[in-house]
Amino acid sequence: MKLWGGRFSAQTDEGAAGFHSSLSFDRRLYRHDINGSIAYAQMLGRQGIVTAADADLIAGGLAGILSDIESGVLAIDGGAEDIHSFVESELVRRIGEAGKRLHTGRSRNDQVALDMRLYVKEEIGLIRARLIELLDALVQTAKRHTGTIMPGFTHLQKAQAVTLAHHLMAYFQMFKRDCERLSDCRKRADEMPLGSGALAATTYPLDREFLKERLGFAAVTANSMDAVSDRDFCIEFLSCLSLVMMHLSRFCEELVLWSNDAFAFVEVSDAYSTGSSIMPQKKNPDMAELVRGKTGRIYGGLLGLLTAMKGLPLSYNKDMQEDKEAVFDAADTAKACLSVFCGMFKTLTFNPGNMRQSALGGYTNATDAADWLVKKGMAFRQAHEVAGRLVLCAIGKGVRLEELSLADLKKESPLFDETFFDVLSPEKCVQARSLPGGPAEAAVLEAIKSAEEYTQRFSV
Chain positions contacting ligand ARG, by CB under 6 A: 22, 26, 82, 108-109, 112, 316, 318, 320-321
Known catalytic residue: 155?
A: yes
Buried b / exposed e across 360-394, counting CB within 10 Å, b at 16+? bebbbbbbbbbbbbeeeebeeeebbbbbeebbebb
Tally Cβ neighbours within 10 Å of residue 212.
20
Tally Cβ neighbours within 10 Å of residue 313.
6
* Nearest distance in Å: CB 25, ligand ARG: 9
Tally Cβ neighbours within 10 Å of residue 150.
30
Comparison of 108 and 117: residue with beta carbon closer to ligand ARG: 108
Comparison of 316 and 341: residue with beta carbon closer to ligand ARG: 316
* Calpha distance 363→394 (Å, rounded): 9
* Nearest distance in Å: CB 23, ligand ARG: 8
* Nearest distance in Å: CB 127, ligand ARG: 22
Q: In this structure, is the dihedral angle defined by the CA atoms of residues 134, 140, 146 and 151, taken in order, positive or negative?
A: negative
Asked if 233 and 117 count as a contact pair (C-beta separation under 8 A), the reply is yes
Residue 248 DSSP label: H
Instruction: Measure Cα distances from 367 to 66, 133, 270, 314, 396 in Å.
Output: 66, 37, 39, 59, 19
* Nearest distance in Å: CB 87, ligand ARG: 12
* Nearest distance in Å: CB 358, ligand ARG: 53
Alpha helices in 260-313 (DSSP H): 286-309
* Nearest distance in Å: CB 433, ligand ARG: 54
The backbone torsions φ and ψ at residue 283, rounded to the nearest 5 degrees and listed phi first, read: -140, 110
Comparison of 318 and 457: residue with beta carbon closer to ligand ARG: 318
Q: Dihedral of the CA atoms 124, 130, 132, 135 (nearest 10)?
A: -130
Catalytic, out of 155, 277, 450, 459: 155
* Nearest distance in Å: CB 9, ligand ARG: 19
Catalytic, out of 24, 67, 269, 276: 276
Known catalytic residue: 67?
A: no
Residue 191 bridge partners (DSSP): 219
Comparison of 108 and 212: residue with beta carbon closer to ligand ARG: 108
Comparison of 112 and 255: residue with beta carbon closer to ligand ARG: 112
Comparison of 119 and 217: residue with beta carbon closer to ligand ARG: 119
Residue 105 DSSP label: T
Phi-psi category of 104—alpha, beta or left, where left has phi over 0 and alpha has psi -120 to 50?
beta
Tally Cβ neighbours within 10 Å of residue 133.
18
What residues are annotated to the active site? 155, 276
